[in-house]
Structure 1
Amino acid sequence: MMLMVPLLITAIIVIALAVLTARAVNKNVYRKGKYSYSQRVCWIFSGYVAVLLICVVLDTVHPVKIVDEWKKVDTKVLEKESTVLYDTALAGKIANEGGEFLRKKWNFDYNGQQLNIAAIQDEYLNTSVVVERKNHNDGKIEAAYYQTRSSVNGMDITELANPPGLELAEDGLLLRNPKKSKIKFSEFTNVFSVKQFTEEDFFGHDSHFSEGQSILYLRIPKDLELIDKTNINLNYVE
Protein backbone atom coordinates (compact mmCIF):
# COMPACT_ATOMS: atom_id res chain seq x y z
CA MET A 1 0.00 0.00 0.00
CA MET A 2 2.85 2.35 0.85
CA LEU A 3 4.30 1.87 -2.64
CA MET A 4 1.14 3.34 -4.18
CA VAL A 5 1.57 6.70 -2.45
CA PRO A 6 4.47 7.93 -4.66
CA LEU A 7 2.60 6.79 -7.77
CA LEU A 8 -0.54 8.67 -6.75
CA ILE A 9 1.48 11.79 -6.01
CA THR A 10 3.15 11.55 -9.41
CA ALA A 11 -0.18 11.07 -11.17
CA ILE A 12 -1.61 14.15 -9.44
CA ILE A 13 1.42 16.22 -10.40
CA VAL A 14 1.24 15.09 -14.03
CA ILE A 15 -2.48 15.80 -14.31
CA ALA A 16 -2.11 19.19 -12.64
CA LEU A 17 0.77 20.09 -14.93
CA ALA A 18 -1.20 19.09 -18.01
CA VAL A 19 -4.26 21.09 -16.91
CA LEU A 20 -2.23 24.21 -16.10
CA THR A 21 -0.39 24.00 -19.41
CA ALA A 22 -3.62 23.58 -21.36
CA ARG A 23 -5.20 26.59 -19.64
CA ALA A 24 -2.12 28.71 -20.24
CA VAL A 25 -2.16 27.83 -23.92
CA ASN A 26 -5.89 28.41 -24.31
CA LYS A 27 -5.62 31.89 -22.81
CA ASN A 28 -3.16 32.87 -25.51
CA VAL A 29 -5.12 31.40 -28.37
CA TYR A 30 -7.85 33.79 -29.56
CA ARG A 31 -8.51 32.44 -32.98
CA LYS A 32 -8.01 29.14 -34.78
CA GLY A 33 -4.46 28.52 -35.86
CA LYS A 34 -2.93 31.38 -33.83
CA TYR A 35 0.11 30.38 -31.75
CA SER A 36 -0.34 26.74 -32.89
CA TYR A 37 3.43 26.21 -32.85
CA SER A 38 3.72 27.39 -29.24
CA GLN A 39 0.83 25.15 -28.29
CA ARG A 40 2.52 22.07 -29.75
CA VAL A 41 5.78 22.90 -27.99
CA CYS A 42 3.99 23.23 -24.66
CA TRP A 43 2.23 19.90 -25.09
CA ILE A 44 5.44 18.13 -26.08
CA PHE A 45 7.26 19.63 -23.11
CA SER A 46 4.43 18.65 -20.77
CA GLY A 47 4.46 15.09 -22.07
CA TYR A 48 8.22 14.81 -21.65
CA VAL A 49 8.07 16.08 -18.06
CA ALA A 50 5.25 13.62 -17.31
CA VAL A 51 7.23 10.65 -18.66
CA LEU A 52 10.33 11.84 -16.81
CA LEU A 53 8.52 12.01 -13.48
CA ILE A 54 6.89 8.61 -13.96
CA CYS A 55 10.21 6.95 -14.85
CA VAL A 56 12.00 8.46 -11.87
CA VAL A 57 9.32 7.31 -9.44
CA LEU A 58 9.07 3.82 -10.94
CA ASP A 59 12.84 3.43 -10.81
CA THR A 60 12.78 4.34 -7.12
CA VAL A 61 9.76 2.27 -6.15
CA HIS A 62 10.66 -0.81 -8.22
CA PRO A 63 14.45 -1.12 -8.33
CA VAL A 64 16.02 -3.89 -10.40
CA LYS A 65 16.51 -7.02 -8.34
CA ILE A 66 19.90 -8.71 -8.26
CA VAL A 67 20.04 -12.47 -8.72
CA ASP A 68 20.17 -13.86 -5.17
CA GLU A 69 22.14 -16.98 -6.11
CA TRP A 70 25.21 -14.98 -7.20
CA LYS A 71 27.06 -13.03 -4.56
CA LYS A 72 28.65 -9.67 -5.26
CA VAL A 73 32.45 -9.68 -5.10
CA ASP A 74 35.22 -7.10 -5.32
CA THR A 75 37.46 -7.75 -8.34
CA LYS A 76 40.45 -6.26 -6.53
CA VAL A 77 40.04 -8.86 -3.79
CA LEU A 78 39.89 -11.61 -6.43
CA GLU A 79 43.09 -10.37 -8.06
CA LYS A 80 44.85 -10.44 -4.70
CA GLU A 81 43.59 -13.99 -4.04
CA SER A 82 45.05 -15.15 -7.36
CA THR A 83 48.46 -13.63 -6.70
CA VAL A 84 48.65 -14.99 -3.16
CA LEU A 85 47.62 -18.51 -4.22
CA TYR A 86 50.26 -18.67 -6.97
CA ASP A 87 53.02 -17.47 -4.63
CA THR A 88 51.86 -19.94 -1.99
CA ALA A 89 52.06 -22.81 -4.49
CA LEU A 90 55.61 -21.94 -5.58
CA ALA A 91 56.61 -21.82 -1.92
CA GLY A 92 55.24 -25.34 -1.37
CA LYS A 93 52.69 -24.15 1.21
CA ILE A 94 49.49 -24.50 -0.78
CA ALA A 95 48.32 -27.64 1.05
CA ASN A 96 48.33 -25.76 4.35
CA GLU A 97 47.34 -22.26 3.24
CA GLY A 98 45.22 -22.78 0.12
CA GLY A 99 42.66 -25.25 1.40
CA GLU A 100 39.68 -22.97 0.77
CA PHE A 101 40.45 -23.03 -2.97
CA LEU A 102 40.85 -26.83 -3.29
CA ARG A 103 38.46 -28.17 -5.96
CA LYS A 104 39.56 -31.75 -6.68
CA LYS A 105 42.20 -34.37 -5.80
CA TRP A 106 43.69 -37.40 -7.58
CA ASN A 107 46.07 -40.20 -6.52
CA PHE A 108 48.05 -42.45 -8.87
CA ASP A 109 50.47 -45.33 -8.27
CA TYR A 110 53.63 -45.11 -10.37
CA ASN A 111 57.00 -46.79 -9.86
CA GLY A 112 58.83 -45.81 -13.05
CA GLN A 113 61.88 -43.56 -13.27
CA GLN A 114 60.49 -41.30 -15.99
CA LEU A 115 57.00 -40.06 -16.81
CA ASN A 116 55.75 -38.15 -19.82
CA ILE A 117 53.33 -35.35 -19.08
CA ALA A 118 51.27 -33.81 -21.87
CA ALA A 119 48.10 -31.92 -22.70
CA ILE A 120 45.57 -34.01 -24.61
CA GLN A 121 45.56 -33.21 -28.36
CA ASP A 122 48.41 -30.74 -27.77
CA GLU A 123 45.90 -28.08 -26.73
CA TYR A 124 46.98 -25.01 -24.82
CA LEU A 125 46.56 -25.63 -21.10
CA ASN A 126 44.88 -22.79 -19.22
CA THR A 127 45.98 -24.14 -15.85
CA SER A 128 49.35 -23.48 -14.21
CA VAL A 129 51.16 -26.68 -13.22
CA VAL A 130 53.34 -26.63 -10.10
CA VAL A 131 55.46 -29.64 -9.14
CA GLU A 132 56.80 -30.53 -5.70
CA ARG A 133 59.31 -33.33 -5.18
CA LYS A 134 58.85 -35.43 -2.08
CA ASN A 135 61.75 -36.32 0.20
CA HIS A 136 61.35 -40.02 -0.58
CA ASN A 137 60.33 -42.46 -3.32
CA ASP A 138 56.93 -43.86 -2.36
CA GLY A 139 55.65 -44.77 -5.84
CA LYS A 140 52.70 -42.38 -5.56
CA ILE A 141 51.72 -39.25 -7.48
CA GLU A 142 49.40 -36.89 -5.65
CA ALA A 143 47.55 -34.25 -7.64
CA ALA A 144 45.32 -31.43 -6.43
CA TYR A 145 43.47 -28.75 -8.34
CA TYR A 146 43.09 -25.29 -6.81
CA GLN A 147 41.13 -22.37 -8.22
CA THR A 148 40.39 -18.91 -6.87
CA ARG A 149 37.03 -17.27 -7.38
CA SER A 150 35.78 -16.12 -10.79
CA SER A 151 33.38 -13.29 -11.55
CA VAL A 152 31.34 -11.61 -14.28
CA ASN A 153 30.47 -7.96 -13.76
CA GLY A 154 31.17 -8.29 -10.05
CA MET A 155 29.06 -11.46 -9.58
CA ASP A 156 30.66 -14.62 -8.19
CA ILE A 157 30.35 -17.47 -10.73
CA THR A 158 32.95 -19.81 -9.20
CA GLU A 159 30.47 -22.66 -8.84
CA LEU A 160 30.08 -22.79 -12.63
CA ALA A 161 33.79 -23.49 -13.22
CA ASN A 162 34.82 -27.08 -13.93
CA PRO A 163 38.08 -28.83 -12.91
CA PRO A 164 40.52 -30.09 -15.57
CA GLY A 165 40.74 -33.71 -16.59
CA LEU A 166 43.71 -35.80 -15.41
CA GLU A 167 44.50 -39.44 -16.14
CA LEU A 168 47.48 -41.76 -15.98
CA ALA A 169 47.80 -43.76 -19.21
CA GLU A 170 50.46 -46.01 -20.75
CA ASP A 171 52.08 -43.08 -22.54
CA GLY A 172 52.13 -40.78 -19.52
CA LEU A 173 50.14 -38.35 -17.41
CA LEU A 174 47.53 -36.69 -19.61
CA LEU A 175 45.92 -33.33 -18.86
CA ARG A 176 42.73 -31.96 -20.36
CA ASN A 177 41.38 -28.42 -20.12
CA PRO A 178 38.25 -27.95 -17.97
CA LYS A 179 34.91 -28.41 -19.70
CA LYS A 180 33.58 -25.02 -20.75
CA SER A 181 30.44 -23.64 -19.15
CA LYS A 182 28.00 -21.48 -21.10
CA ILE A 183 26.58 -18.52 -19.24
CA LYS A 184 23.60 -16.52 -20.45
CA PHE A 185 22.34 -13.60 -18.42
CA SER A 186 20.63 -10.26 -18.85
CA GLU A 187 21.22 -6.95 -17.13
CA PHE A 188 18.85 -4.05 -16.79
CA THR A 189 19.92 -0.42 -17.05
CA ASN A 190 18.07 2.79 -16.34
CA VAL A 191 16.13 4.45 -19.15
CA PHE A 192 17.41 7.64 -20.76
CA SER A 193 15.18 9.87 -18.64
CA VAL A 194 16.95 8.59 -15.53
CA LYS A 195 20.45 8.24 -17.01
CA GLN A 196 20.61 11.93 -17.83
CA PHE A 197 20.75 12.66 -14.09
CA THR A 198 23.34 9.96 -13.30
CA GLU A 199 26.88 9.16 -14.43
CA GLU A 200 25.81 6.15 -16.50
CA ASP A 201 26.93 5.87 -20.12
CA PHE A 202 24.10 6.71 -22.53
CA PHE A 203 25.26 4.51 -25.41
CA GLY A 204 27.04 1.46 -24.04
CA HIS A 205 27.69 -0.97 -21.22
CA ASP A 206 31.00 -2.71 -20.52
CA SER A 207 31.23 -6.25 -19.18
CA HIS A 208 34.09 -7.42 -16.98
CA PHE A 209 35.23 -11.03 -16.56
CA SER A 210 37.73 -12.34 -14.02
CA GLU A 211 38.69 -15.98 -14.54
CA GLY A 212 40.68 -16.46 -11.35
CA GLN A 213 43.91 -18.38 -10.82
CA SER A 214 43.85 -22.14 -11.46
CA ILE A 215 46.70 -24.39 -10.34
CA LEU A 216 47.31 -28.11 -10.76
CA TYR A 217 49.66 -29.05 -7.93
CA LEU A 218 51.63 -32.30 -8.32
CA ARG A 219 53.58 -34.08 -5.58
CA ILE A 220 55.86 -36.68 -7.16
CA PRO A 221 58.42 -39.21 -5.87
CA LYS A 222 61.88 -37.79 -5.18
CA ASP A 223 63.72 -39.27 -8.18
CA LEU A 224 60.90 -39.29 -10.75
CA GLU A 225 61.78 -37.36 -13.91
CA LEU A 226 58.91 -35.57 -15.63
CA ILE A 227 59.23 -35.11 -19.39
CA ASP A 228 57.17 -32.20 -20.74
CA LYS A 229 55.92 -33.32 -24.17
CA THR A 230 53.67 -30.38 -25.06
CA ASN A 231 55.37 -27.32 -23.53
CA ILE A 232 53.12 -27.18 -20.50
CA ASN A 233 55.71 -25.04 -18.73
CA LEU A 234 56.15 -26.89 -15.47
CA ASN A 235 56.92 -24.81 -12.39
CA TYR A 236 58.88 -26.48 -9.60
CA VAL A 237 58.54 -25.58 -5.94
CA GLU A 238 61.36 -23.26 -4.92
Structure 2
Amino acid sequence: MTTKRTYCFFTSYVAVLIVSVILFYALPAKENAVGGRVQSETANKGIDKVYNAAQEGRIEEINSKYKKQQWEFPYKESRLHLDGNVDPTIVVERKQSSDGTIDAIFFATDFVVGGFDMSNRTPAINLELEGDTLMIDNTGPLQINLGMYSKEFPIRQFTGEQFIEEDPIVSPMQIIYLRVPKDLEITGASDMDITYVNK
Protein backbone atom coordinates (compact mmCIF):
# COMPACT_ATOMS: atom_id res chain seq x y z
CA MET A 1 0.00 0.00 0.00
CA THR A 2 2.79 2.43 0.87
CA THR A 3 4.64 1.59 -2.33
CA LYS A 4 1.54 2.28 -4.39
CA ARG A 5 0.94 5.58 -2.55
CA THR A 6 4.59 6.59 -3.04
CA TYR A 7 4.39 5.72 -6.73
CA CYS A 8 1.20 7.84 -7.17
CA PHE A 9 2.76 10.77 -5.29
CA PHE A 10 5.97 10.59 -7.33
CA THR A 11 4.06 10.33 -10.65
CA SER A 12 1.89 13.34 -9.71
CA TYR A 13 4.96 15.34 -8.74
CA VAL A 14 6.69 14.60 -12.07
CA ALA A 15 3.49 15.49 -13.97
CA VAL A 16 3.26 18.85 -12.15
CA LEU A 17 6.90 19.62 -13.00
CA ILE A 18 6.37 18.84 -16.69
CA VAL A 19 3.18 20.94 -16.86
CA SER A 20 4.88 23.87 -15.08
CA VAL A 21 7.78 23.87 -17.57
CA ILE A 22 5.33 23.87 -20.49
CA LEU A 23 3.32 26.73 -18.94
CA PHE A 24 6.50 28.73 -18.23
CA TYR A 25 7.51 28.71 -21.91
CA ALA A 26 3.92 29.27 -23.09
CA LEU A 27 3.44 32.49 -21.09
CA PRO A 28 4.29 35.74 -22.95
CA ALA A 29 7.53 37.42 -21.85
CA LYS A 30 7.10 40.72 -20.04
CA GLU A 31 8.88 43.77 -21.36
CA ASN A 32 11.99 44.58 -19.39
CA ALA A 33 11.26 47.94 -17.76
CA VAL A 34 14.84 48.83 -16.94
CA GLY A 35 18.03 49.01 -18.91
CA GLY A 36 20.46 48.12 -16.15
CA ARG A 37 22.11 49.90 -13.24
CA VAL A 38 23.36 53.49 -13.56
CA GLN A 39 25.18 55.47 -10.89
CA SER A 40 23.54 58.84 -10.25
CA GLU A 41 26.99 60.46 -10.51
CA THR A 42 27.40 59.07 -14.05
CA ALA A 43 23.93 60.31 -15.02
CA ASN A 44 24.67 63.79 -13.66
CA LYS A 45 27.95 63.95 -15.62
CA GLY A 46 25.98 63.06 -18.76
CA ILE A 47 23.62 65.98 -18.08
CA ASP A 48 26.55 68.41 -17.79
CA LYS A 49 28.22 67.15 -20.99
CA VAL A 50 25.03 67.32 -23.08
CA TYR A 51 24.02 70.73 -21.74
CA ASN A 52 27.46 72.31 -22.29
CA ALA A 53 27.87 70.82 -25.78
CA ALA A 54 24.42 72.05 -26.86
CA GLN A 55 24.95 75.54 -25.45
CA GLU A 56 28.23 75.82 -27.37
CA GLY A 57 26.88 74.33 -30.62
CA ARG A 58 29.06 71.19 -30.40
CA ILE A 59 26.20 68.72 -30.93
CA GLU A 60 28.40 66.34 -32.94
CA GLU A 61 30.21 65.59 -29.66
CA ILE A 62 27.01 64.46 -27.92
CA ASN A 63 26.77 60.69 -27.47
CA SER A 64 24.31 59.27 -30.02
CA LYS A 65 22.39 57.41 -27.27
CA TYR A 66 21.05 60.80 -26.13
CA LYS A 67 19.63 61.67 -29.58
CA LYS A 68 15.99 60.57 -29.36
CA GLN A 69 14.27 62.19 -32.37
CA GLN A 70 15.09 64.28 -35.42
CA TRP A 71 13.01 66.39 -37.85
CA GLU A 72 13.54 68.55 -40.95
CA PHE A 73 10.99 71.19 -42.00
CA PRO A 74 11.10 73.16 -45.28
CA TYR A 75 10.54 76.82 -44.37
CA LYS A 76 10.58 79.97 -46.52
CA GLU A 77 9.09 82.57 -44.15
CA SER A 78 11.15 85.34 -42.49
CA ARG A 79 9.75 84.80 -38.99
CA LEU A 80 9.14 81.72 -36.81
CA HIS A 81 7.09 81.61 -33.62
CA LEU A 82 7.70 78.82 -31.09
CA ASP A 83 4.75 77.69 -29.02
CA GLY A 84 3.50 74.71 -27.03
CA ASN A 85 3.45 73.01 -23.69
CA VAL A 86 7.04 71.89 -23.08
CA ASP A 87 9.65 71.57 -20.38
CA PRO A 88 12.77 71.08 -22.54
CA THR A 89 15.34 73.79 -23.03
CA ILE A 90 15.30 75.13 -26.59
CA VAL A 91 18.68 75.93 -28.13
CA VAL A 92 18.78 77.81 -31.45
CA GLU A 93 21.77 77.82 -33.80
CA ARG A 94 21.79 80.06 -36.86
CA LYS A 95 23.22 78.46 -40.00
CA GLN A 96 25.81 80.19 -42.17
CA SER A 97 23.27 80.51 -44.99
CA SER A 98 19.52 80.72 -45.58
CA ASP A 99 18.90 77.22 -46.96
CA GLY A 100 15.11 77.20 -46.43
CA THR A 101 15.06 74.37 -43.87
CA ILE A 102 14.72 74.08 -40.11
CA ASP A 103 16.52 71.10 -38.57
CA ALA A 104 15.37 69.95 -35.13
CA ILE A 105 16.92 67.36 -32.79
CA PHE A 106 15.52 66.19 -29.47
CA PHE A 107 18.16 65.16 -26.90
CA ALA A 108 17.37 63.52 -23.55
CA THR A 109 19.92 62.30 -21.00
CA ASP A 110 19.58 59.24 -18.74
CA PHE A 111 16.44 58.90 -16.64
CA VAL A 112 17.43 57.07 -13.44
CA VAL A 113 15.08 55.84 -10.72
CA GLY A 114 16.62 54.22 -7.66
CA GLY A 115 19.83 53.45 -9.57
CA PHE A 116 18.00 51.81 -12.51
CA ASP A 117 18.12 53.17 -16.06
CA MET A 118 14.57 54.05 -17.17
CA SER A 119 15.63 56.00 -20.27
CA ASN A 120 13.52 53.80 -22.53
CA ARG A 121 10.48 55.28 -20.73
CA THR A 122 11.34 58.91 -21.55
CA PRO A 123 8.28 60.39 -23.32
CA ALA A 124 8.67 61.50 -26.92
CA ILE A 125 8.15 65.07 -28.14
CA ASN A 126 5.83 66.17 -30.96
CA LEU A 127 6.96 68.95 -33.32
CA GLU A 128 4.52 70.26 -35.92
CA LEU A 129 4.90 73.23 -38.23
CA GLU A 130 1.57 75.09 -38.52
CA GLY A 131 1.98 78.11 -40.78
CA ASP A 132 4.63 80.31 -39.17
CA THR A 133 4.38 78.52 -35.77
CA LEU A 134 6.40 75.52 -34.64
CA MET A 135 4.25 73.69 -32.09
CA ILE A 136 6.28 71.74 -29.50
CA ASP A 137 4.33 69.41 -27.24
CA ASN A 138 4.90 66.44 -24.96
CA THR A 139 3.20 63.24 -26.10
CA GLY A 140 1.61 62.74 -22.69
CA PRO A 141 2.25 62.09 -19.01
CA LEU A 142 4.63 59.37 -17.89
CA GLN A 143 3.45 56.83 -15.36
CA ILE A 144 5.84 54.25 -13.93
CA ASN A 145 4.86 51.49 -11.54
CA LEU A 146 8.07 50.29 -9.97
CA GLY A 147 8.57 47.57 -7.38
CA MET A 148 11.91 47.42 -5.59
CA TYR A 149 13.30 44.98 -3.06
CA SER A 150 15.68 45.58 -0.21
CA LYS A 151 17.32 43.49 2.47
CA GLU A 152 15.62 43.42 5.87
CA PHE A 153 16.58 46.01 8.48
CA PRO A 154 18.62 43.62 10.70
CA ILE A 155 20.77 42.59 7.72
CA ARG A 156 21.22 46.21 6.52
CA GLN A 157 22.47 47.14 10.02
CA PHE A 158 25.49 44.89 9.58
CA THR A 159 26.14 45.43 5.85
CA GLY A 160 25.78 49.24 5.96
CA GLU A 161 23.44 49.17 2.94
CA GLN A 162 21.03 52.13 2.73
CA PHE A 163 17.31 51.55 2.31
CA ILE A 164 16.99 54.32 -0.28
CA GLU A 165 19.82 55.61 -2.41
CA GLU A 166 21.00 59.19 -1.94
CA ASP A 167 19.63 60.24 -5.38
CA PRO A 168 16.58 58.03 -5.91
CA ILE A 169 15.55 59.93 -9.08
CA VAL A 170 17.73 61.67 -11.70
CA SER A 171 15.41 63.42 -14.16
CA PRO A 172 16.59 63.62 -17.76
CA MET A 173 17.88 66.89 -19.19
CA GLN A 174 15.76 67.45 -22.31
CA ILE A 175 16.92 69.77 -25.09
CA ILE A 176 15.36 70.67 -28.43
CA TYR A 177 18.16 71.86 -30.69
CA LEU A 178 17.05 73.96 -33.68
CA ARG A 179 19.30 74.83 -36.62
CA VAL A 180 17.56 77.66 -38.50
CA PRO A 181 18.30 79.79 -41.59
CA LYS A 182 20.69 82.68 -40.94
CA ASP A 183 18.20 85.57 -41.16
CA LEU A 184 15.17 83.88 -39.57
CA GLU A 185 13.58 85.91 -36.77
CA ILE A 186 12.60 83.75 -33.78
CA THR A 187 9.88 84.58 -31.26
CA GLY A 188 8.57 82.36 -28.48
CA ALA A 189 6.02 82.10 -25.72
CA SER A 190 7.04 84.01 -22.59
CA ASP A 191 7.47 80.84 -20.50
CA MET A 192 9.82 79.15 -22.96
CA ASP A 193 13.49 78.73 -22.11
CA ILE A 194 15.19 79.72 -25.40
CA THR A 195 18.93 80.24 -25.70
CA TYR A 196 21.07 81.01 -28.73
CA VAL A 197 24.41 79.51 -29.68
CA ASN A 198 27.28 82.04 -29.83
CA LYS A 199 25.14 85.02 -28.97
Same fold (TM over 0.5): yes
More strand by share: 2
How many equivalent pairs are there?
166
Pairwise CA RMSD of aligned residues? Answer: 2.2
Bigger fraction of residues in helix:
1
Q: Does 1:233 align with 2:193?
A: yes
CA distance in 1, matches of 2:190, 2:33: 42
CA–CA separation in structure 2 for the residues paired with 1:89 and 1:128: 10
Distance of 1:175 and 1:183 partners within structure 2: 23
* Structure 1 alignment gaps of length 5 or more: 1-66
Q: Give yes or no for the alignment of 1:131 onto 2:92.
A: yes
Partner residue of 2:113 out of 152, 174, 180: 152
> What do the CA deviations read for 1:47-92 (whole angstroms, capped 9, x no partner)?
xxxxxxxxxxxxxxxxxxxx89531111101101111111101111
2:176 aligned with 1:211: no
8 A contact 1:118–1:230 mirrored in 2: no
Query: Whole-Å Cα distance in 2 between the matches of residues 232 and 163 of structure 1?
Result: 18
Match of 1:92, as an amino acid? Answer: G
Q: 1:96-133 CA deviation, whole Å, 9 max, x = no partner? A: 434331110011111111111111xxx4x210110000
Residue 233 of structure 1: how far off its partner (Å): 2.2
Query: For the residues of structure 2 that align with 1:178 and 1:138, how far apart are their CA atoms?
Result: 30
TM-score, scaled relative to structure 2: 0.75
Distance apart, 1:200 and its partner CA: 4.9
Residue from 86, 89, 105 that aligns with 2:70: 105
**Aligned twin of 2:4:** none
Give the TM-score normalised by the residue count of structure 1.
0.64
Quick check: 219-228 or 161-170, which moved more? 161-170
The answer to which structure, 1 or 2, has the higher relative contact order (CA under 8 A, 6+ apart) is 2
| SS of structure 2 residue aligned to 1:80 | helix
Q: Please, which of 84, 90, 103 is the counterpart of residue 142 of structure 1?
A: 103
- Between the aligned partners of 1:186 and 1:103, the Cα distance in structure 2 is 27
Which structure has the larger Rg? Answer: 1
